[in-house]
Structure 1
């Protein structure tokens, strides 16, 4: 799959959430509208696997974390994809929030304690993104592309 096809897949999600508050209600909406075992998420996961193998996704690496901004703006969100394996990432904050799609690759991988599916961080939150119990691909949707690395 190429970047245009990938963008079309992710646009199904961003189009459905644009303008919504980044909160627990959004997490519940995403779980219902785009379940982790559903067709859309399966297609996004397959596209990520193919793109990483092709070399145009997660084409940067630092500290054992492969990453890259795939789309600068899609319905007001940037789209970043990160591949992590039992690692703690750099501390950062989300001025406008962050929406994450966790896709375990091996083991029972968890991202910040959450398994396969959606994780939503509200505006002003911060964390060290952490993958435990295996490897995972995490798709990040950042409103306005805003992220602030703090340490």
Structure 2
């Protein structure tokens, strides 16, 4: 899907409102701990947004095309980035640049809810990765 030119106004008929616990349908089966809030086709290829409950630690990996953004809703998320480890609490935000090794682990509470956003070319990779780790 081609990306609209800069300055293009997005269509009003694409307005989406989801209530608590509601998710968008997925093209592929997703683990129950992943909820799709916005698909790349919902945003004209600009991004996707997932709500994730980190049921298992996600080992060190690299995204080669897109950055990853994480907003922690609840609990503590341990983020290993390059050669450092950070503990991100509820309300915290992390930007993980593409090309840099990173990992995500459950913090002290053992269950962390966070939202993450990825650019379209990485979305399919993230779906495969999610199925593999859960």
TM range (shorter): 0.5 to 0.7
Q: Which of the two has greater helix per residue?
A: 1
Contact 1:102–1:111, Cα closer than 8 Å, also in 2: no
Distance in 2 (CA, whole Å) between partners of 1:60 and 1:146 is: 16
The aligned residue for residue 47 of structure 2 is 77
User: Which ranges of structure 2 fall in alignment gaps of 5 or more residues?
Assistant: 1-14, 80-86
- What is the TM-score with the length of structure 1 in the denominator? 0.50
Which structure is higher in strand share? Answer: 1
Number of matched pairs: 96
Shift of 1:83: 0.7
What's the TM-score, normalizing by structure 2?
A: 0.55
Tell me if 1:61 matches 2:31.
Answer: yes
- CA drift of 1:98 comes to 0.6
Q: Deviations over 1:60-101 (max 9, x none)?
A: 437xxx11333112371111110125x312544222211110
SS at match of 1:146: helix
Aligned to 2:57: 88
Q: State the structure with more CA Rg.
A: 2
